[in-house]
Amino acid sequence: MIYTVTFNPCLDYIVQVDGLELGLVNRTAREEMLPGGKGVNVSIVLRNLGHENRALGFLAGFTGAEIARRLRETGVEADFIEVAQGMSRINVKVNSEGVETEINGMGPAIQPEDVEALYAKLDTLAAGDTLIISGSVPSVLPGDIYERIMARLEGRGVSIVVDATRDLLVNVLPYRPFLIKPNNHELGEIFDVELSRRADVVPYAQKLQERGARNVLVSMAGEGAVLVAEDGSVHESPAPRGHVVNSVGAGDSMVAGFVAGFQESDGDFETAFRMGVCTGSASAFSMQLATRPEVEALLATI
């Protein structure tokens, strides 16, 4: 079974506003409401690709109930901890003249007993399962919760995927995550360098392998992506051609595509990489997250 963890899920209210003017009344030209959060996005795309999975994390209030309802409508098994205080976030994503602006909410007041309830669910994972942990950690949670989860599952045969930034990512490397997915800017921040070309990314991805990561997948938006795999192979691809409509969830979709491709191909890195690249692009080329037909159409082009 594939599991995802989203510490702070949300409802993403995505709107198109033509000619946005601050301080004035603006009207939307297009709008969409979707369940969101990095792990939630991964779960939805996995299900779109035909892979059953279970979404874990924390929900609260009427917004939390709506997130769970919408997830179940997509076929994802929503198995969240219900938090008593506060409400799950509504995040507003405004696109105007090609510029994206985000206003993100705070989230519920997660208590220590809620965290213990999440740990209890994670304790049921067994050898052969895949766990995908992604996104930021709310201030109400321990800052080292990624490490705590990985230490708790160490030696259990669970493949753990981590999509996080800076210290959250670097600090889990000693636990040898199966896959990490920084983008080129996040990778550059770790080493205080600027990485704009695919060839530049490879040596720094290998440095993260030296620190413990088994596979390093680096997304680079329009430049494509790079995979440095644990078998020593390096895979590079430009981005498929297409018009970017909405970049929200594209990186999460790449993670979902890679995991799906890896499982479908019995562990072939090239197949997993191509699937990841095309799934990420398919989401970027649509107002909604990637579907299987959209991904397969792009796979035929690269």
CATH value at residue 53: 3.40.1190.20
Among 67-76, 116-125, 162-171, 253-262, name the one with the lowest average pLDDT. 162-171
Dist CA 184 CA 178 (whole Å): 19
Name the residue range of residue 231's domain.
2-19+27-299
Top mean pLDDT of 32-36, 98-102, 181-185 is at 181-185
Integer CA distances (angstroms), 225 to 91, 106, 110, 189, in order: 27, 32, 36, 17
Mean residue pLDDT across the chain:
93
Dist CA 145 CA 153 (whole Å): 12
Catalytic residue set: 252
- In sign, the C-alpha dihedral spanning 6, 169, 128, 155 is negative
Determine the average pLDDT of the residues in 22-36. 91
What's the confidence (pLDDT) of residue 245?
A: 81
Using 50, 70 and 90 to split pLDDT, how confident is the model at 261?
very high
Dist CA 161 CA 177 (whole Å): 6
**What total of structural domains would you count in the chain?**
1
Determine the average pLDDT of the residues in 231-245. 90
Q: In this structure, are residues 257 and 275 in contact, taking their beta carbons and an 8 Å threshold?
A: yes
The per-residue DSSP string of 65-111 comes to HHHHHHHHHHT-EE--EE-SSS--EEEEEEEETTEEEEE--------
Each residue's pLDDT tens digit, 36-45: 899 999 999 9
Is pLDDT of 14 > 80? yes
Dist CA 185 CA 114 (whole Å): 33
What's the confidence (pLDDT) of residue 135?
A: 87
What's the confidence (pLDDT) of residue 241?
A: 87
What's the confidence (pLDDT) of residue 149?
A: 97
Residues with Cβ within 8 Å of residue 217, at least 6 apart in sequence? 179, 180, 181, 225, 226, 227, 254, 255, 258, 273, 276
